[in-house]
A and B are shown apart, each in its own frame.
Chain A
Amino acid sequence: MTKQHPAWSPYDNNGGTCVAIAGADYCVTAADTRMSTGYSILSRDYSKIIKLADKCVMASSGFQADVKALQKLLAARHLIYQHQHNKQMSCPAMGQLLSNTLYYKRFFPYYSFNVLGGLDNEGKGCVYTYDAVGSYERVGYSSQGSGSTLIMPFLDNQLKSPSPLLLPAQDAVTPLSEAEAVDLVKTCFASATERDIYTGDKLEIVVLNKDGIHREYMELRKD
């Protein structure tokens, strides 16, 4: 008899799109709140963004159970860091920790696609972008997840970051104001939602600047 059941898989793709944009003195991190499996929606109100430290947030898409395990691990590691050093971890430090944590599971990976947004030690916006096994890079803006193929080229077109090959190295932060960056993110998601079935329902935007952290929401198409 032929096989009737598909082989069991330890992975699922729960979809979702993440974007982060760094400015001179702010960082905007955003993700939609839809969680899907196959053609079904599991939840219309699931937050993909967590605050890892005072000046560091992570937006993650991919396999929700792996993402949750990753978030718990980073939170635990950050708690130990605070007990040992009596301070919050910086965003660049958290960036390295996230890379190491992902690579630690190189041969049974966390199926998660992350962007880390925050402020560096000079208070400048910083964005780190990852693949599932921990390759990472500091950039001025990035998009990850199911809608990234729609959003990334649009950001490239709008933000025209200086080539990383330029010498001396140029600052990767975007020239936009905070309000302009928030508007750009909203446009990105409104557009991605039109074509990507795994993006929609609601947009969660987290803005980090010298005044602290602030969250806002925008409704997206629910179909």
Chain B
Amino acid sequence: MESIQAKQGLVGPNDPIQRTQLPYVTGTSVVALKYKDGILMAADMGGSYGSTIRYKSVERIKPIGKHSLLGASGEISDFQELLRNLDELILYDNMWDDGNSLGPKELHSYLTRVMYNRRNKFDPLWNSLVLGGVKNGQKYLGMVSMIGVNFEDSHVATGFGNHLARPILRDEWHENLSYEDGVKLLEKCMRVLLYRDRSAVNKLQIAKITEEGTTISQPYALKTFWGFTAFQNPTAGAEGSW
């Protein structure tokens, strides 16, 4: 009897509230770095539904206001909700018409608080966020995790990128990277991720932000070579017990 009453809707009046504790559609790594004139950021366009690559044209890098770029991995819908919130924030800030605007530093600080507040409510936004930007000649690059852990660095990467891209960046990154060298370095990272991260797809965007403004590239593919003998027979030379 009790169960019939409770099952009238999907959620019964006495059921505990359920919050997002597992993500549905997710994006994989974001990689970003500082270069001579600003920030470069790269992300592929895959949207995974569990281990199925369900979407192949998801934009995971977006400009926020005039001075910032936001990249996200993790739950795509949470990211898109966050974008709507930020759009409103920027709009209301703009309506003061006082010539002030939120820079990357302020936005990163704000995002940090949003993520941390949601984790305090046990209702997290399931994302790792990368925020880059330039304002008043100051370059800024930072990261925020799902539970509010945040920091700045000269290069950052989320998820698999932290394992596969950052070691490359630590070897090859320097303060005076030109735009061309920066893009080359990001492409090298994205290619490694494409080879080794099963959620990565060969369709990516690279975004640039400088004092002059934001440009996000059209989606494009990296050149790959799958003919390595290690790819053809990956277990050769690796003796196992079975």
Which residues does A use to contact B, with CB under 8 Å?
Answer: 5, 7-12, 14, 35, 37, 40, 42-43, 45-46, 63-65, 68-69, 108
The residues in B between 131 and 150 inclusive whose CB is less than 8 angstroms from any CB of A are 143, 145, 147-150
* Bound: A59/B21 CA distance, A: 33
What are 28 sample pairs from A and B whose C-beta atoms fall under 8 A apart?
A: A8-B21, A9-B147, A10-B120, A10-B147, A11-B147, A12-B145, A12-B147, A12-B149, A35-B151, A37-B149, A40-B162, A40-B163, A42-B143, A42-B149, A42-B151, A42-B162, A43-B151, A43-B153, A45-B153, A46-B151, A64-B149, A64-B151, A65-B115, A65-B149, A68-B116, A68-B148, A69-B116, A108-B120
Q: Is B124 an interface residue (CB 8 A)?
A: yes
Residues of A within 8 A of B145 (CB): 12, 65
Residues of A within 8 A of B110 (CB): none
A14 close to B149 (CB less than 8 A): yes
B22 close to A5 (CB less than 8 A): yes
Q: How far is the CB of B210 from chain A (nearest CB, A)?
A: 24
B124 close to A64 (CB less than 8 A): no
A7 close to B21 (CB less than 8 A): yes
A65 close to B21 (CB less than 8 A): no
* Bound: A120/B9 CA distance, A: 63
Q: Is B119 an interface residue (CB 8 A)?
A: yes
- Candidates B22, B119, B150, B153; contact of A64 at CB < 8 Å: B150
Main secondary structure of the interface of A (DSSP, over half): loop
B153 close to A65 (CB less than 8 A): no
Residues of A within 8 A of B195 (CB): none
Q: How far is the CB of B27 from chain A (nearest CB, A)?
A: 17
Residues of A within 8 A of B119 (CB): 10, 65
The 8 A CB mask of B152-167 against A (1 = contact, 0 = none) is: 0100000000110000
* Bound: A11/B119 CA distance, A: 9
The 8 A CB mask of B24-67 against A (1 = contact, 0 = none) is: 00000000000000000000000000000000000000000000
* Bound: A37/B80 CA distance, A: 26
Residues of B within 8 A of A64 (CB): 149-151
Q: How far is the CB of B154 from chain A (nearest CB, A)?
A: 9
Q: Is B112 an interface residue (CB 8 A)?
A: yes
4 A-B pairs besides A37-B149, A65-B116 with CB distance below 8 A are A5-B21, A10-B119, A12-B145, A65-B119
Please give the number of chain B residues whose Cβ is less than 8 angstroms from any Cβ of chain A in the complex.
19
**Could you say which of B22, B116, B151, B162 has the most chain A C-beta atoms within 10 Å of its C-beta?**
B151
* Bound: A35/B149 CA distance, A: 10
* Bound: A10/B116 CA distance, A: 9
Q: Is B220 an interface residue (CB 8 A)?
A: no
Residues of B within 8 A of A7 (CB): 21
* Bound: A199/B1 CA distance, A: 59
* Bound: A11/B148 CA distance, A: 10
Residues of A within 8 A of B115 (CB): 65
Q: How far is the CB of A222 from chain B (nearest CB, A)?
A: 9
Residues of A within 8 A of B122 (CB): 10
**Could you say which of A14, A65, A69 has the most chain B C-beta atoms within 10 Å of its C-beta?**
A65
* Bound: A8/B126 CA distance, A: 10
7 tightest A-B CB contacts, nearest first: A65-B148, A43-B151, A64-B149, A8-B21, A65-B149, A10-B119, A5-B22
The 8 A CB mask of B1-29 against A (1 = contact, 0 = none) is: 00000000000000000000110000000
* Bound: A12/B115 CA distance, A: 14
Chain B residue nearest in CB terms to A7 = B21
Chain A residue nearest in CB terms to B126 = A8
Residues of A within 8 A of B112 (CB): 65, 68
* Bound: A178/B150 CA distance, A: 34
Residues of B within 8 A of A8 (CB): 21-22, 124
A65 close to B124 (CB less than 8 A): no
* Bound: A37/B149 CA distance, A: 10
Residues of A within 8 A of B150 (CB): 64-65, 68
**Could you say which of A5, A9, A63, A69 has the most chain B C-beta atoms within 10 Å of its C-beta?**
A69
* Bound: A9/B145 CA distance, A: 13
* Bound: A43/B169 CA distance, A: 13
Residues of B within 8 A of A43 (CB): 151, 153
